[in-house]
C-alpha cells in the first residue's frame, strides 16, 4: 500500500515560520501529528526534533500544493539556513550533537556521486551530509517510493552523499548493473578506466562492510577475497596512476573506506617493492582489507567518537587487533601472511607498539608494510576533531619518526607516493 505522505527534510521547514499544512513524524509504520497547520514552527520545536534524532518530517500528499507555495514564499530563508548550516562548526560538547553524529555514522553509508547520472533510475533515496545533519535531495521528496529518476544535482554535488544502511542491498544491485555495462564512458578509454575505478571502489566498500557486519561468515569472506583480488588486478593494470583512481578521501573516518584504502595502498606499495601478484600481493590486499575487522566488536561509540579518545578509551580501542585475530582464526584456511598483516599493523620496531610489543625482526615483512600504510591513511583522513593532513604533510611526519618503521620501506613508500602524487 502506497503512503499518503511525502518526506520533507527537516531544514526545509524554516524556524519562526507558520506552515499552512500539518506536519507529521514517522513512528515505525505510523504517521503522528507533530505540528498543526497555522502554528508557529519555533526554534524549540526544531531543537526537540533534532534531539529525538528526527531527520525528516512528513506532509500529506493532499497538501503538496500548499507545501510548494510555502517553499516559494521563503526561498531566501531556506538558502540562508542551508548556507549557515554548511559553514557552522558542530559543537560536540552538546550531548544531542554527539548522539546525532553517532546516529549518522551508524545508520548511513557513504556513496560516490560519480556513479549517479542524470535520468538514471535508482530504487533507494540519496541524502547529503551537511554539518551534523543528513538531508534528502529534492527529487526524492515528492514520491514516497522508488524508482526515482535522478537529476544532475546529485552527480555534480560536492557534498558527501549517503544512503541508509538498510538500502545497501539495493545499492549493491545498482553497482552490479553498472559493472555489466560501460554506460557513460562511450569509447573514451580514460573515462572507461575512471568509471571502472569508481565501480570497483564502491563494490569493495560494500563487501568490506558486509564482512564487518558478519565477520564469522565464510561466504562473506570468500566474497571479500574475490572482490579484493579483482581490485588488486585493476590496481596492477593501472599501477602508474592507482592512487588518484582508487584512494578515497572521506569527510569522516569510516572503517570500510579506511580498510579499502589500506588494501589498495598495500597492493600499490607491494608492487613497487617487486612483490609477486600471486600469492604476495593478493594476500597483502586481503590482509589490508581485513586489518580492522576487530573494530566490528568494539563499541561503535568509541569507533565513531567525534573527539579525541581518553587513555581509558584508547585502551579499549587497542583491543580491536586481538579481537580481529580471534575472529579470523575461525577461518582455518587463512594464510599466516594475512593474519600477520592484521595482527601487526600497530606494532613498531622499537617494541612500543601493540598488542604484543614486538621488536625488530619479530615484526614480519607484511606487518611492517601494513603499519606504514595504516598510519599514512589515518593521518590523511578527516575527523571531527582533526583536519586531514595533505599527503605531503603526512609523509613529512612519517619521515621524521625515528626507529618505529622499517627505514628502507619508509624511503621506498615515500618515493612511491611521491611519484603517484606528481602524476595527480
pLDDT tens per residue, range 355-377: 999 999 999 999 999 999 999 99
Rounded mean pLDDT of 281-289? 97
Q: Answer positive or negative: Cα dihedral of 32, 3, 162, 134.
A: negative
Q: Which of 250, 168, 252, 246 is nearest to 213 (CA)?
A: 168
**Would you give the DSSP letter of residue 21?**
S
294 burial via Cβ count (<10 Å: 0-12, 13-18, 19+): buried
Instruction: Return the SS3 of 327.
Output: helix
Which residue, among 321, 222, 239, 323, has the nearest Cα to 275 in the 3D structure? 239
pLDDT in tens, 143-152: 778 899 998 7
Place of cell 555495462: 181
> What does pLDDT average to over the chain?
88
Q: Which of 177-186, 301-310, 318-327, 382-391 has the highest mean pLDDT?
A: 318-327
Options 1.10.3210.10, 3.40.1190.20, 3.40.50.300, 3.40.250.10; CATH of 186-422: 1.10.3210.10
Which of 90, 52, 101 has the alpha carbon at shortest distance from 303? 101
Residue ranges of the chain that CATH labels 1.10.3210.10: 186-422
Label residue 187 by pLDDT band (50, 70, 90).
Answer: low
Give the bridge partners for 165, in sequence order: none
Q: Can you state the angle between helices 255-272 and 365-379, rounded to 10 degrees? A: 130
H or E element at residue 35: strand 30-35
User: Cell 579483482 appears where?
Assistant: 230
> Which residues lie closer than 8 Å to 103 by C-beta, 6 or more apart?
53
- Torsion over CA: 282, 292, 416, 351 (sign): negative
Asked if residue 26 lies in contact with residue 58, where contact means CB atoms within 8 angstroms, the answer is: yes
Handedness of CA 328, 329, 332, 338 (dihedral sign): positive
List of residues 6+ apart from 104 with CB closer than 8 A: 129, 132, 134, 162
CA atoms within 13 A on the CB side of 17: 21
pLDDT > 90: what percent of the chain?
A: 58
Determine the Cα–Cα distance for residues 388 and 332; give it in Å rounded to an integer: 38
Set of cell numbers at residue 57: 518530517
- Per-residue pLDDT at 84 exceeds 60: no
pLDDT tens string 190-214: 778 888 999 999 999 999 999 999 9
Which SS3 state, helix, strand or coil, does residue 121 take?
strand
For strand 121-122 and strand 148-149, is the pairing parallel, antiparallel, or unpaired? antiparallel
Rounded-to-10 torsion of CA 326, 327, 329, 332: 170
Question: 3-state class of 330 per DSSP?
Answer: coil
Q: Which pLDDT tens digit goes with each residue over 7-66?
A: 888 878 888 888 999 999 988 778 999 999 988 888 888 878 877 777 788 999 999 888
Amino acid at each position: 500500500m502506497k503512503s499518503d505522505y511525502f518526506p520533507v527534510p527537516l531544514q526545509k521547514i524554516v524556524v519562526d515560520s507558520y506552515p499552512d499544512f500539518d506536519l507529521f513524524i514517522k513512528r515505525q509504520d505510523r504517521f503522528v501529528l507533530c505540528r498543526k497547520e497555522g502554528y508557529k514552527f519555533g526554534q524549540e520545536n526544531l531543537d526537540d526534533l533534532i534531539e529525538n534524532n528526527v531527520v525528516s518530517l512528513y506532509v500529506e500528499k493532499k497538501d503538496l500544493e500548499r507545501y510548494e507555495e510555502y517553499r516559494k514564499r521563503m526561498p531566501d530563508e531556506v538558502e540562508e539556513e542551508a548556507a549557515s548550516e554548511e559553514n557552522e562548526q558542530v559543537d560536540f560538547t552538546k550531548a544531542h550533537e554527539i548522539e546525532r553524529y553517532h546516529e549518522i555514522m551508524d545508520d548511513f553509508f557513504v556513496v560516490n556521486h560519480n556513479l549517479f547520472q542524470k535520468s538514471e533510475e535508482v530504487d533507494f533515496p540519496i541524502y547529503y551530509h551537511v554539518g551534523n545533519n543528513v538531508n534528502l535531495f529534492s527529487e526524492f521528496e515528492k514520491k514516497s517510493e522508488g524508482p526515482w529518476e535522478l537529476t544532475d544535482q546529485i552527480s555534480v554535488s560536492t557534498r558527501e552523499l549517503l544512503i541508509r544502511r538498510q538500502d545497501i542491498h539495493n545499492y549493491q544491485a545498482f553497482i552490479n548493473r553498472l559493472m555489466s555495462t560501460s554506460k557513460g564512458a562511450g569509447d573514451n578509454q580514460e573515462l572507461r578506466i575512471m568509471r571502472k575505478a569508481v565501480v570497483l571502489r564502491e563494490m569493495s566498500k560494500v563487501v568490506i562492510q558486509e564482512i564487518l557486519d558478519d565477520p564469522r561468515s565464510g561466504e562473506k569472506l570468500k566474497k571479500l577475497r574475490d572482490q579484493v583480488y579483482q581490485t588488486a588486478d585493476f590496481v596492477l593494470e593501472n599501477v602508474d596512476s592507482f592512487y588518484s583512481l582508487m584512494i578515497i578521501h572521506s569527510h569522516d573516518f569510516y572503517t570500510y573506506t579506511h580498510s579499502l584504502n589500506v588494501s589498495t595502498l598495500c597492493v600499490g606499495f607491494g608492487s613497487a617493492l617487486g612483490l609477486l601478484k600471486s600469492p604476495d600481493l593478493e594476500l597483502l590486499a586481503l590482509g589490508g582489507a581485513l586489518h580492522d575487522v576487530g573494530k566490528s566488536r568494539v563499541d561503535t561509540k568509541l569507533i565513531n567518537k567525534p573527539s579525541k579518545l581518553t587513555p581509558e578509551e584508547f585502551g579499549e580501542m587497542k583491543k580491536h587487533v586481538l579481537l580481529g585475530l580471534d575472529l579470523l582464526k575461525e577461518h582455518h584456511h587463512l594464510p599466516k601472511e594475512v593474519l600477520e598483516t592484521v595482527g601487526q599493523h600497530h606494532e613498531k620496531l622499537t617494541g612500543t607498539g601493540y598488542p604484543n610489543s614486538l621488536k625488530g625482526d619479530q615484526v614480519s615483512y607484511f606487518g611492517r608494510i601494513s603499519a606504514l600504510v595504516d598510519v599514512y591513511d589515518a593521518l590523511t583522513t578527516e575527523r571531527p576533531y582533526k583536519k586531514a593532513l595533505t599527503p605531503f604533510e603526512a609523509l613529512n611526519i612519517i619521515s621524521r619518526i625515528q626507529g618505529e618503521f622499517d627505514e628502507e620501506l619508509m624511503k621506498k613508500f615515500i618515493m612511491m607516493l611521491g611519484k603517484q602524487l606528481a602524476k595527480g
